[in-house]
Chain A
């Protein structure tokens, strides 16, 4: 057993650090902390990563990946998060990209992958529907063949950043008579196609990230179908496993602890800084202990993969505990900010209310409630662990 990085990995880490030192300007990190990062800023950062050749560490080298070991990927993710870099938008690079290079034909690969790597095209994910959440295979959006096209009718929901998207990848029902997992196909749809309407969902964090997407007789070329008709569920499952990697968010939570300590050093409680308040510090320490456990759990999972094996049963708890820790930290941040955590937006004189750090904490806390719901709710995760790990 040895927890030290190899000299090669240390050299790699230093290379990543030097890159971040040079390219990650304060403009990016401030936007991340302030929770106000916009589409242009994210794309700008992604293009910097692309120029460096580091935009898609998980992709095979032949499609533009880095060829890094799992340890190097882990180091890279960690260093980026610790430095406060913007998170890469996952829909193109971490979701549809891998599906296209794994199951798409050559023409589709040539057409879509370069724009994904260069962040020229913004993708969104058309999976959930009003009646199909945890039970995703119950989806009803229909695609009927008409010559060389499908005609798509139906509705998707919780579509993150659909308002920015140029393309959407969708699960649609192409056979209503088959067993529910067996009549689904995977379509790529241009958001400019007539008949598509995006409607904003007013969410509890008062930000615009969630949408509904409606399809009214939307004509989609059959050439935009990935793989075989009615085999979409297989591709979707493959994608969901991609969505679940790096979901523990250890580095992000470490960053959150650092920020929380900064807030607590400035907030006064009982005539002294909150950071000297034993009760507050005890709560923070409890979360830190949980995070220490999570960090080592993640390292164990990574080590077994680096060793050429599969992740062990311990990896199944990463999403559950990772999201619970993120939520606990965001609750504590709201508590730390006291009254000002609840102020919303600017005041009538056009000034911000309270300290700069207070404004984003509640939005993060509220949006963070979704972390235990999306990507397979934590209840569904526990069902999977009960079945797959405990054999129940």
Chain B
């Protein structure tokens, strides 16, 4: 038994880590957030050139066949840098849907575009009433001639405004909370009848609300089997949850290290505040929270690699733990930074906000604790 990275994995970690360290400090990140679309197109192209956009795709799809471990390695580093480029939405979510369920033609056309950095997609699967149930879909896809007409509303589409194409979940049959009857469709962003409202989220990322007013689509726009999308969506959500938790774990590592550093330099009552035992114990707690989440992260990743039956249970354990422990660690960091933790000048507050958003994406702590109990 060992938890060591292979040579290739070490290289990948070093390459992402070096990039974050040299080219992606917090000031740079702020500039990216302020750019058109909320991220830096040139940085995205750099990701493509460095080969990062192809990591999770199979060799036949043009990737390198990286697994959950490679994704974890990258996302931990992205977390430390608070990367805002749409890696999760385009590569790990939309890309994964296509890789799992897309036809050969769809994959050939779109995945190559994702990998070379020319195309961005976003999954539109959440609705105002659905909360975390991906099967709770009211958006309708009515058959019309050879194709479909889509009508409904989608919310919290990550980096929606940057997408040239959406993957939209819609009902081809059944009632709003049926497991069966949900299908996926490729919807070009410039479709007639599609209205997009773009907005910033607290973590400096962007999201969009979509309204579909009778959007006409050809039969070839459907992704995967008709009515069978829920299994695909849930599989993608589980993998993306692990990736987002890796991002959070990267942030938790950074949080405890930065808090320790700050406490050694911040002087009150004539001494560094790091000498106060009450604060020392709390920083030990932050370290412990990080190590626990890291262990659950590795557990989920290893069970995915092994195709183990308890993967979903491990995902829920991880997502619940990150929701509670990640938020706790971020609260402690803000408290120990004091007033400085309340400012946007320091990154700690941004880690707190990003951790809160991650907690909500694909199910919050309560949702996953319930799912854990049911599995």
Residues in A lying within 8 Å of B, measured CB to CB: 128, 131, 133-135, 138, 157-158, 201-204, 206, 210, 267-271, 277, 279-280, 283, 327, 331, 334-335, 338-349, 351, 353-354, 362, 366-367, 369-370, 372-374, 377-379, 382-383
Given A277-B366, A369-B335, answer yes or no on A344-B199 (Cβ-Cβ < 8 Å).
yes
Which among B16-24, B63-71, B241-249, B336-344 touches the partner chain? B336-344
Task: Provide the residues of chain B in CB contact with A373, threshold 8 Å.
Answer: 335, 338-339, 341-342
Task: Provide the residues of chain A in CB contact with B350, threshold 8 Å.
Answer: 204
Q: Is the CB of A268 within 8 A of B131?
A: yes
Q: Is the CB of A271 within 8 A of B136?
A: yes
Least Cβ distance of A380 to chain B in Å? 10
Q: Is the CB of B338 within 8 A of A280?
A: no
Q: Is the CB of B136 within 8 A of A366?
A: no
Q: Is the CB of A342 within 8 A of B339?
A: no
Complexed CA–CA distance, A301 and B84 (Å): 50
- Nearest 4 Cβ contacts at the A-B interface: A204-B349, A347-B197, A135-B268, A202-B344
Contact of A345 among B195, B199, B276, B343 (CB under 8 A): B199
Among B199, B209, B370, find the residue whose CB has the most chain A CB atoms closer than 10 A.
B199
Binary A-proximity of B124-161 (CB < 8 A = 1, otherwise 0): 00101111110010000000000000000001100001
Q: Is the CB of A351 within 8 A of B197?
A: yes
Complexed CA–CA distance, A379 and B335 (Å): 10
Q: Is the CB of B342 within 8 A of A335?
A: no
Task: Provide the residues of chain A in CB contact with B209, threshold 8 Å.
Answer: 347, 353
Given A204-B343, A204-B344, answer yes or no on A335-B338 (Cβ-Cβ < 8 Å).
no
Complexed CA–CA distance, A391 and B171 (Å): 68
Complexed CA–CA distance, A31 and B126 (Å): 31
Contact of B199 among A348, A378, A383 (CB under 8 A): A348
Q: Is the CB of A345 within 8 A of B339?
A: no
A-B contact pairs, 7 of them (CB 8 A): A157-B339, A204-B349, A271-B133, A340-B155, A347-B198, A348-B199, A366-B353
Given A339-B155, A379-B278, answer yes or no on A203-B341 (Cβ-Cβ < 8 Å).
no
Complexed CA–CA distance, A369 and B333 (Å): 11
Complexed CA–CA distance, A372 and B334 (Å): 10
Complexed CA–CA distance, A157 and B343 (Å): 12
Chain B, range 190-230, C-beta contacts under 8 Å to A: 195-203, 207-209
Task: Provide the residues of chain A in CB contact with B343, threshold 8 Å.
Answer: 201-204, 210
Interface residue B31 (Cβ < 8 Å from any Cβ of A): no
Complexed CA–CA distance, A134 and B339 (Å): 10
Complexed CA–CA distance, A373 and B345 (Å): 17
Complexed CA–CA distance, A202 and B347 (Å): 12
Q: Is the CB of A158 within 8 A of B331?
A: no
Interface residue B352 (Cβ < 8 Å from any Cβ of A): yes
Which among B39-47, B103-111, B297-305, B356-364 touches the partner chain? B356-364
Interface residue B101 (Cβ < 8 Å from any Cβ of A): no
Task: Provide the residues of chain B in CB contact with A340, threshold 8 Å.
Answer: 155-156
Task: Provide the residues of chain A in CB contact with B132, threshold 8 Å.
Answer: 269, 338
Q: Is the CB of A134 within 8 A of B338?
A: yes
Task: Provide the residues of chain A in CB contact with B264, threshold 8 Å.
Answer: none
Complexed CA–CA distance, A90 and B180 (Å): 58
Least Cβ distance of A343 to chain B in Å? 6
Among A202, A351, A370, A373, find the residue whose CB has the most chain B CB atoms closer than 10 A.
A373
Q: Is the CB of B339 within 8 A of A133?
A: yes
Complexed CA–CA distance, A182 and B258 (Å): 35
Q: Is the CB of B366 within 8 A of A339?
A: no
Given A279-B370, A339-B126, A353-B209, answer yes or no on A133-B199 (Cβ-Cβ < 8 Å).
no
Interface residue B369 (Cβ < 8 Å from any Cβ of A): yes
Q: Is the CB of B268 within 8 A of A138?
A: yes
Task: Provide the residues of chain B in CB contact with A158, threshold 8 Å.
Answer: 339
Contact of A204 among B130, B331, B342 (CB under 8 A): B342
Complexed CA–CA distance, A204 and B203 (Å): 10
Residues in B lying within 8 Å of A, measured CB to CB: 126, 128-133, 136, 155-156, 161, 177, 195-203, 207-209, 267-270, 276, 278-279, 327, 331, 334-335, 338-339, 341-345, 349-350, 352-353, 356-357, 360, 364-366, 369-370
Least Cβ distance of A320 to chain B in Å? 12
Task: Provide the residues of chain B in CB contact with A327, threshold 8 Å.
Answer: 331
Task: Provide the residues of chain A in CB contact with B357, threshold 8 Å.
Answer: 342
Task: Provide the residues of chain B in CB contact with A348, threshold 8 Å.
Answer: 161, 196-199
Q: Other than A268-B131, A341-B356, A367-B342, give 9 A-B pairs with Cβ distance below 8 A.
A: A133-B338, A138-B268, A271-B136, A279-B369, A347-B199, A348-B198, A349-B197, A351-B197, A369-B341
Task: Provide the residues of chain A in CB contact with B370, threshold 8 Å.
Answer: 279
Complexed CA–CA distance, A145 and B110 (Å): 74
Complexed CA–CA distance, A133 and B335 (Å): 13
Complexed CA–CA distance, A335 and B327 (Å): 12
Q: Is the CB of B269 within 8 A of A342?
A: no
Q: Which residue of A lies closest to B365 (CB)?
A: A335
Q: Is the CB of B199 within 8 A of A131?
A: no
Contact of A267 among B131, B133, B197, B356 (CB under 8 A): B131
Complexed CA–CA distance, A150 and B203 (Å): 45
Complexed CA–CA distance, A277 and B130 (Å): 15
Q: Is the CB of B356 within 8 A of A270?
A: no
Task: Provide the residues of chain A in CB contact with B369, threshold 8 Å.
Answer: 279
Q: Which residue of A lies closest to B373 (CB)?
A: A279
Task: Provide the residues of chain B in CB contact with A344, threshold 8 Å.
Answer: 199-202
Complexed CA–CA distance, A338 and B349 (Å): 20
Contact of A342 among B335, B338, B360 (CB under 8 A): B360
Task: Provide the residues of chain A in CB contact with B267, threshold 8 Å.
Answer: 131
Task: Provide the residues of chain B in CB contact with A270, threshold 8 Å.
Answer: 131, 133
Least Cβ distance of A170 to chain B in Å? 17
Complexed CA–CA distance, A370 and B350 (Å): 15
Given A134-B268, A269-B131, A373-B335, answer yes or no on A342-B356 (Cβ-Cβ < 8 Å).
yes
Q: Which residue of A lies closest to B336 (CB)?
A: A379
Q: Is the CB of A210 within 8 A of B161?
A: no
Q: Is the CB of A372 within 8 A of B200?
A: no
Complexed CA–CA distance, A134 and B201 (Å): 33
Least Cβ distance of B229 to chain A in Å? 18
Contact of A133 among B197, B268, B270 (CB under 8 A): B268
Least Cβ distance of A270 to chain B in Å? 7
Q: Which residue of B lies closest to A339 (CB)?
A: B156
Task: Provide the residues of chain B in CB contact with A339, threshold 8 Å.
Answer: 126, 131, 155-156, 360
Least Cβ distance of B274 to chain A in Å? 13
Complexed CA–CA distance, A366 and B199 (Å): 19
Task: Provide the residues of chain A in CB contact with B334, threshold 8 Å.
Answer: 204, 369
Task: Provide the residues of chain A in CB contact with B202, threshold 8 Å.
Answer: 206, 342-344, 362, 366
Q: Which residue of B lies closest to A206 (CB)?
A: B202
Task: Provide the residues of chain A in CB contact with B195, threshold 8 Å.
Answer: 349
Least Cβ distance of A338 to chain B in Å? 5
